[in-house]
Structure 1
């Protein structure tokens, strides 16, 4: 493959394995956030692909699909979808069901899953439409899709194109850094549980200090090539750990009648925040589709997205239901923390999943670095760019550490991250861009679409406001106790 001197492609993991294609020349995310890797971790060079097309056909082909060098199959893409959606959010579903209720939560979780998947379809449709209109070599990603829709929309929206693209990238950074903060709290909690069994009693804040040291070292690796193998290891460890947790949760279950059918209205915002956090995989859908051998199979009724998310949603509901039914009001922010202490199996599972999160942190961390550092590099790193980048990475890691130390309640932290950033990405931006895009078509926006999209946006705003307020209020109450 030819090297383009003006553009450097950086592979960046998103939730255990996706990547960002980043253009160092214009300091914008090329092809959007989360360009998912092919099997061989290769991102095609768009210029090179276009030149090949010219040689073959006399002109670049723009048939509505992105032609990749190493496309993934239906099964490959389904596996990547599972990898990207199953993580700390899954283990927090027991806490979510406690804040929702044993009857309320399964029903609403299913409805939320349907709404989130529909929003993902909206994003995919708008990206495909912008790809056709702009005749780009590759489909635009999340931020670029939002930008192009607003730029080609009504005159009133065009001046908002750049600010809203910055907003989307900001939410992506907040989400990823929020994940990193959750990982620190998650790892420290599990390590503390293990140490307690061996009469090593140390404060949680001290455990976080121990955790941040290997994290800081790992994040100094600038080339993701040396980190991506850990993604596979992390997925295996996570799968084994979750399987054992689910098995433990099925033992000696009490009657359903012993649990709250629906929680108090003060708790419901915490449920919504955690549930949206778990479902927030919208950054994956565009790169997953674009890397497929047959991308048209991604959105079909029995395509990868629908089938995969039905399975993922079923897993979320099963784990949440069993977790709350088994441990009731004692269920914690991660089901691993509810495993019976003193048992070797419990310690092994907590260690495996903590190690999986430790491996995943530096992969997640590449996303905010890839989005923010090139802009800063142009302004402040004309000299000693490598040393300054390493310093910037260290500052970001320490920022997540400080935030984690400030909010050590894992369940509340997850709910806060979900309410603040995940709702905007998963529920608010997709229907908004559909409305803007549809307004430019003959006949305008159908009434049913206005009602549907406004409902989703209002739901997102409701979860954003109430979830953020109740999460912050609960964190303050936790500190006062």
Structure 2
């Protein structure tokens, strides 16, 4: 019996892979058609452009928070756990892609389904008792995506403001944090009006250069600022409460799952996205190595004093440190339209379908919606008391559900459609992922809220 289950499971995996290979071309994810299910359009991106977007979607504020991440996880603990989390993320992203491909195969006239539509269709085509949950599951995913992307955008404002505020104060410009944030508002509006990933590519590429410059410069200063402290002075492992904060920060840093389907389906050759040495695996391997190196060096250098962004640990009196803070802030700032793109892609289609004005004046209404949403992220950023704690909260609550829980549920539903399709190995593997996810959600969310309440007091 176990041998039969194993063979059935293997056949199911092979069927998924064949379907994945068949889907050669897909949509750019242009918002104008709405609903996530769109026809193929122009402006296809190359593998390099897709990798650029995915890299930028994973190395924003989270990259500079790696010092705090290692402080909460410990040198040895974080070094061991980060690759494990990365492998789990990639595996779940591949399950999401497979679910999307199979749903497209069964949906006539559709070339592309985004994350929420994929979940809806997978449940709609699933076992009969689960079909009535399809619309609800789609709404759940849309809610988590909106909250996550909204949180990312707000955190980006905070990151930029904290770095610029230090530089301005050092140069005798004594203005409040709120005023500094207001200064960044207008520049944030301009790139946020772009509605196609193809047009955002130059912005994303420049943001990557700025981020890498800021990171390399920060680490160079860390190495050159006297002898490095001994590793023995740092914690190798930490307490359970700190590990929960580590988990949230780590999940926040791997924040690109919302971009997986839009990026894959915007490519000229989508099959190259998730191949063995394709965009997904290559980019995530490089990203994880960068995270580990950055976090390890930052925690060894600054120890328990490491800030939510390692650029805040640089001596602001030095001119070069000021340049680094500004360039790093610019790199994160230019990642704003990438995260904003995903949020708008969810909000705009249903608004357009249900509103006559949006149908009659689509451009005007979309610009108005974008303006309102930028202002809302700006407003939330004004009341964020602590960057690192909100990073942990968003990561623990929303990112964990999107990265782990939903893809596993999709895999369960897909395999349940095939007789004996859920093999023993797949069942145990999915249960383990869900167990890790639930522990991370409960402990991470609780600990983050406790720390945030302390900050408000």
Which TM-score band applies after superposition, normalised by the shorter structure? 0.7 to 0.9
Q: Is the 8 A contact 2:72 2:245 kept in 1?
A: yes
Q: Is the 8 A contact 2:67 2:294 kept in 1?
A: yes
Q: State the distance in 1 between where 2:333 and 2:53 align.
A: 20
CA shift in 2, pair 1:460/1:388, >3 Å: same
Range with bigger deviation, 339-348 or 425-434: 339-348
Q: State the distance in 1 between where 2:103 and 2:194 align.
A: 35
Kindly state the Cα deviation for residue 326 of structure 1 after the two structures are TM-superposed.
0.8
Task: Return the structure number with greater relative CO, CA threshold 8 A, min gap 6.
Answer: 2
Task: Please give the residue correspondences for 1:184-263 in structure 2 after superposition, counting only pairs within 5 Å.
Answer: 184-216=157-189, 219=192, 229-251=202-224, 252-263=227-238
Kindly state the Cα deviation for residue 115 of structure 1 after the two structures are TM-superposed.
0.8
Q: Is the 8 A contact 1:228 1:363 kept in 2?
A: no
1:302 aligns with 2:256: no
Would you tell me which structure has more helix in proportion to its own residues?
2
Q: State the distance in 1 between where 2:376 and 2:67 align.
A: 28
Range with bigger deviation, 241-250 or 362-371: 362-371
Task: Please give the residue correspondences for 1:385-464 in structure 2 after superposition, counting only pairs within 5 Å.
Answer: 388-464=365-441
Kindly state the Cα deviation for residue 150 of structure 1 after the two structures are TM-superposed.
0.4
CA shift in 2, pair 1:288/1:211, >3 Å: closer
1:110 aligns with 2:92: no
Kindly state the Cα deviation for residue 363 of structure 1 after the two structures are TM-superposed.
4.1
1:89 aligns with 2:62: yes
Instruction: State the partner residue of 2:328.
Output: 353
Q: State the distance in 2 between where 1:385 and 1:84 align.
A: 28
Q: Count residues with an aligned counterpart.
A: 427
CA shift in 2, pair 1:381/1:229, >3 Å: farther
Q: State the distance in 1 between where 2:188 and 2:133 align.
A: 38
Instruction: State the partner residue of 1:21.
Output: 30
Q: State the distance in 1 between where 2:194 and 2:287 align.
A: 32
1:344 aligns with 2:319: yes
Q: State the distance in 1 between where 2:43 and 2:190 align.
A: 33
Task: Please give the residue correspondences for 1:75-154 in structure 2 after superposition, counting only pairs within 5 Å.
Answer: 77-134=50-107, 136-154=109-127
Q: Is the 8 A contact 1:181 1:403 kept in 2?
A: yes
Kindly state the Cα deviation for residue 205 of structure 1 after the two structures are TM-superposed.
3.0
Q: Is the 8 A contact 1:23 1:30 kept in 2?
A: no
Q: State the distance in 1 between where 2:205 and 2:133 align.
A: 40
Taking structure 1 as the reference length, what is the TM-score of the superposition? 0.81
Kindly state the Cα deviation for residue 231 of structure 1 after the two structures are TM-superposed.
2.8
Range with bigger deviation, 150-159 or 264-273: 264-273
1:30 aligns with 2:4: no
Map Cα deviations across residues 111-136 of structure 1 (whole Å, 9 max, x no partner). Answer: 11111111112112222222333355
Q: Secondary structure at the match of 1:231?
A: helix
Q: State the distance in 1 between where 2:197 and 2:417 align.
A: 41
Q: Is the 8 A contact 1:432 1:457 kept in 2?
A: no
CA shift in 2, pair 1:384/1:119, >3 Å: closer
1:165 aligns with 2:142: no
Q: Secondary structure at the match of 2:135?
A: helix
Q: Is the 8 A contact 2:56 2:335 kept in 1?
A: no
Q: State the distance in 1 between where 2:345 and 2:256 align.
A: 19
Map Cα deviations across residues 67-96 of structure 1 (whole Å, 9 max, x no partner). Answer: x875634x5544443333222111111111
